[in-house]
Every structure is written in C-alpha cells, then in structure tokens.
A and B are shown apart, each in its own frame.
Chain A
C-alpha cells in the first residue's frame, strides 16, 4: 500500500496535507511512490482553511 492508496481509502481529498510515515515527511508529489509498511505510524495533518 502507498500513501496515496491510504489517503484514498480514508477519503482524504483535501489538498493541503502534511503527511509523515514513521516520522519522515512525505513530499506531496511522492504520495503514489511512497510505500506504507505494515504497522507504520502514518500522520496526515490537514492544514486549516475555511472561507
């Protein structure tokens, strides 16, 4: 599974995300190539927005 697969599964469509896998930041253009190992600590911080 890649970061992009995981985001799709979670329905995370918001474009301003800060994603890290086991503490390592993942560049926004590398979501599709970055694997998510089993049991990894993945964080997807949504930067706030709103009108």
Chain B
C-alpha cells in the first residue's frame, strides 16, 4: 500500500516557492477537526517583529486560541517553525525546529526545540511554519508533498503502528519509494506513551544516509506529543525537492560560506581536545557535573556519586557504535547526535528486537540515571529507547521517577499504593515497569504520567502525604519538571530555572559556573544583568533555527583574549554574519538581543493571558534553593555551617540541625525574592512580574490586545 491508497479527507494545492532570503513567505494551516487546509501569507512586519521559529509559533498561536483555551481544546494548536537561518548547511547547528502549544503540564505555552530534518524540509517544501488546529475524530496523517505542490489530510489506517520506531518503517514504506525519497522525507510522530501521559514528546525524524535508517530527535518538553495525539494526529510527513547549499536563496552566500568554513576549521582543531562533542555528545557533561557537585543524584538531593564513572562520557564514547561524526542536520560538524546500533531490547512489548537507540544525551543519563540512583548504562539505554518510541520526555520521566522514589523512601508512598512496586532509588526494573505502565495508561504508571504537580495533589489528597514536604522536594515549577542540574549553590541559576517563560528548562540560561564557580556575578544587579542577557541571547537561537551548542561547546582559546569571554564574542559575530547573510538585513549583535526581547516579552504576556505569568508562578521548590532534609545538610555540612557564619553571623556550633536548616531556608528564600525584584526591574516588568506598557511600547509590540492583557494586572 502507498500513500495514494490512503483515504483523502482534505486536499490543498499550492505553488511551491523556493525560499527567498530564508523565508518561504507563507505558513500552512491544517485544521484536522474541520478537515480544512489553508495558506497564510507572511508579511514584512511579521518577519521584522517575530523573526521566525518560536516567534512565528507564538504569533500564530496567539491568534488561534482564546484566553480560556486549555491544552485539550480543539482551538489549541501545535505550531512548528524553523526560522530564516534554518536549513543553512554551512554553519554547524542550523537545522533546528521549534514547536509550541498550550501544555497539558503547565496550562501555558510550552516551546521545545528539536533537531532532525523536518523544519528545514518544511521550508524547502514552501512553508515557514505549520499550524495544526482542531481535534480529529479518528487518526489522521498530514502529508506535505513539496514536489507535487500538494498538502493532504489522510485517514490513518488500522495497521498504523502505535510507537515511533515502528511507525517510521511504516511511513517509509508508504511515503517513500526510493532511497532518494527517503533522504528527502522527514516526519513527526510520537507513541502510545503520549496518549496516556501529560509528558508526551514529539519525535522529529532524520534519515541517516550512513546507516540507511531513520533516527529521531525529540522536542521533549511540556507534553507537545500529548497534544499531538489528543488531536489524533499519527504523523506529519513532509517531502521536499532535492536541494543544495543555497536552498534558502540567501542574500550573501559568500559571507555564509566563509563564516561556516572558518567555524568548521575551529571545530576540527579544538573539539577533540575540549568537550569531544563529536565523540561523546552532550554526555561529556556527566563527569564534569559530578566533579563540580552539580549532577542530580537521588532527586537532586546530592550533586555527585561514586558510581558516576560507570555512566560518564568515557563509557558512552565506547558504547556508541559506528563512531562517525553524527549530525542531526547537514553540515553540523559539532555532530553530537550519537547512537547505539543493534541494541537488543530486554523488556516490554519489543523485548528481543534489535533497535537503534539515539543518544543518550546528558539530560537523559542524568535524569533516568543518577537522579534515580541508577548507574547501569544498559538500563539507561533501555529507558531511553522506550521513552523515545513511546513518546515520553526523558527529562520529565527522570525527574518524576526520582520524585516518586524519594516519596517511596520517605514513607509517603507504600508498595500497596504503587501496585506492589518497591520503588527505592536504584530500582531499575521498577522504573522500567512504571514506564511500561505509563505507556499503557495502566496502574500506578497512569498517575506518574500526569507529572509531579498532579502527583503532589493526588498523594496529599488520597495518600495523606505531607503536602509541605511534597512541595519542597517535588522538582517542578509552573507544572514542568526540572531539567538536570543541581542549583542549590547558585542563586543566579535558581533564577535561570524559576524566572523562565515556559518552566524550569536550562535553555534560557545556564549560569552556574559564572555565578558559583567563577564568582563573576557577586551582586544582585550582576545576576539580573546575566538573567537578562543570556535568556535573550539563547532565545535568539530559537527564532532563527539555530542550535545553541556550537555557540559555546567548542571555542578557539583565542576567545580568552576577548573583552567578555563568557559571551564568546567571535561566535556572536558569526551569528550576526549568518543572519545578515541569509536575510539581507544588516544587523548588529545588539539587534539580535532586541529581536529576542520582543518575542520573550510577548510570551510573558501570553502567559498572563492564559491566567499565569505572575510573580507567584515564578516560585521554585525549596529543593532547588537549599537543603531540605537533615541528610542533605549533613552531606555538605562544612559548607553549610560556614555559610551560617558568613551569611548570618551566627555560630553553628550552638545551633541544632533543625535550627540550621531553618536558618538556611529563611535566608535562601529571601535571597530568591530579592533576585526576583532585581530581574523584574532589569527586564522592565512590575514587581508583580508584568511587562509594563512602556516596555511593550519600546519593543513595538504594544498591540491593543497585548496592552489589554497587561492592563488587567497593573
């Protein structure tokens, strides 16, 4: 059976335009509930104001939803866009896609990025973004056929497999007849785990020409996959025409090629002696984080563990197969996307089959590994495989499982309540069983799949657990589970997680070394400045289709001689050149920050519109700010006692452990409140966390409906 034999529910023909200066000039609208497909044009104002990527996502979503829209409502949308520089092949990390929707975990907008070929191929097929609205009554597939100039909404047949790795083979068979077709096709999907949990991820495919097989990268955070399946979408398939290094028809190809070739040389010269991204990927960080006491161990209680050497980058470098540099978009020489081939699955519905496991990346190793007290690399691979194919975010799974394990060990949860599972830290088989239950929507796993925020409510209401304790150890903020860094000793990074738009994900800012190790941010004003600049800088990658890693994970040491080494000025200049080279807009480094400020503030207002986005929603669990339990205190007693002397001018030898814990708590939480004041002021927000009309005016986003939202809170 080919795609031609699937039932067509709607069809739309269009003129395929090759992108010009990075833009296709139109976005694709598909309403899967009303079986309606349309094109929307992209004008100069939209390009100037929202740039692309996350900016386009937010702008389209803003117009599609109501103030009262929740994740499951038909008017909720999933919007996916790469950005003007997405699809550039000459500069490493230029193939990202950014997805956004109203999240089932947070009830506000979630944005999450992924590699893979989908975003660039969508643009080469003629679309700057795809907007999916409506809830279908049966499973559907969206097929964007660039070479034919046709978009189809198709009924997914009964034999369509439930999980991504099998669905991929099925899609290849139906939608690609030749090897070239497979190379020029990409698709989005998720698995049954996304149907039964709130932490469903979206898988972005890439056809690996060396392995001659499909691989997947994940837009993991915030349950976008959950919304995808709730809309009854099985897959979004895009096929593009063959393309070359000038597919974006950039304004100044020469500038881009020169910049890219120089960067490739820098990667070639330095990566092997720095982070070894080309060999270890982001997993290189596991040992580093352990060395600096920042690796989450046992639900973020501790920052290191003697067994970390069993799951560190050296181990993964040996475990990854093929050992060729492995990029998730063409021309990415940082090439961190490694994989383990021929992994034999041990548990669950695919036991016995041999599969490719992508990664695992740092977040996965730390989340499902050390944070759950699991130090067995084969278990991490097994969980990684199932999370991906089931469509479950490895970060939320890891952090949630760690929370469950601590609750179990603290007696907040009994084996009777878990359906007989003894979920102590380190119980790998128990964690796997919960994962399979989550995918099936059965048993205790069904509850775990709802995430920490809902579990806290449930444990307190139904199991009589101590709510205050749950709130302190449950590592979520805004409803989103924390990504995998211990922030207790870095106030700035507590803000880097807490003062985010979408919830505690480190893609806005990672300030731990600057703050805690380098002591470069001694004052509140310094921290606030960093919590302005870095979130804006890192937001910019997501407007344009860039990955953050090539910015600072491989750096010519000449950077040390620059004015501000932490910003990597010569790489910032590369991005200025690429953006100008693609779009023809001559910009400066400051202009890039301005672009982000506009979108960032717009997202903050969007949160307000959906009923959140205030100071109260920027609160963090105390576990992320300081020691909750006596055991935690004792694990760093010398440091904490010293701080009592330095910060509070008290004598710890005359205090009980309980008194010392309280003293730390009062001081640290007060510090966080002071940090909030400083950051809000720097960002041009009121002390309630609301962007002022002046801020919005200066950014040129003082549209009446935007002002109306903030005026309700002034």
Contact = CB atoms under 8 A, between A and B. Distances in A.
Given A13-B287, A18-B565, A45 B274 contact: no
- Which of B273, B361, B510, B565 has the largest count of A CB atoms less than 10 A from its CB? B565
B275 interface: yes
A50 B510 contact: yes
A48 B511 contact: yes
A45 B520 CA distance: 9
A17 B553 CA distance: 12
B527 to A, nearest CB: 14
Nearest to B361: A51
Contact of B285 (A25, A44, A46, A51): A51
Chain A interface size, under 10 / 10 to 19 / 20 to 34 / 35 or more: 10 to 19
B75 interface: no
Interface string B273-288: 1110000001001011
B323 to A, nearest CB: 20
A49 B560 contact: no
Contacts of B363: 51
B291 interface: yes
Interface in B453-496: 483, 485
Nearest to A50: B510
A47 B520 CA distance: 11
A46 B557 contact: no
B274 A16 contact: yes
B507 interface: yes
Interface string B498-535: 00000000110011111001101000000000000010
Interface residues of B, number: 35
B561 interface: yes
A49 B292 CA distance: 13
- Which of A18, A25, A46, A47 has the largest count of B CB atoms less than 10 A from its CB? A47
A46 B513 contact: yes
B274 A15 contact: yes
A39 interface: no
Contacts of B273: 15
A51 B555 contact: no
A24 to B, nearest CB: 11
B566 A51 contact: no
Nearest to A27: B557
A47 B565 contact: yes
B561 A48 contact: no
B50 interface: no
B362 interface: yes
A45 B518 contact: yes
A45 B362 CA distance: 23
Contacts of B274: 15-16
A18 B527 CA distance: 20
A14 B288 contact: yes
Nearest to A18: B560
A23 interface: no
B292 A45 contact: no
B552 interface: yes
A25 B568 CA distance: 16
Contacts of B552: 16, 47-49
Given A45-B520, A47-B555, A14 B361 contact: no
Given A15-B274, A18-B565, A28-B557, A48 B292 contact: no
Given A45-B518, A49-B285, A51-B361, A15 B275 contact: yes
A16 B282 CA distance: 14
A25 B513 contact: no
Interface string A1-28: 0000000000101111010000001011
A13 B363 CA distance: 20
Interface in A27-51: 27-28, 44-51
Contacts of A28: 557
Nearest to B395: A51
B513 to A, nearest CB: 4
> Considering the complex of A and B, which 6 residue pairs feature the smallest CB-CB distances, nearest first?
A50-B510, A46-B513, A18-B560, A13-B291, A15-B274, A18-B565
5 contacts: A14-B291, A47-B568, A51-B363, A51-B483, A51-B510
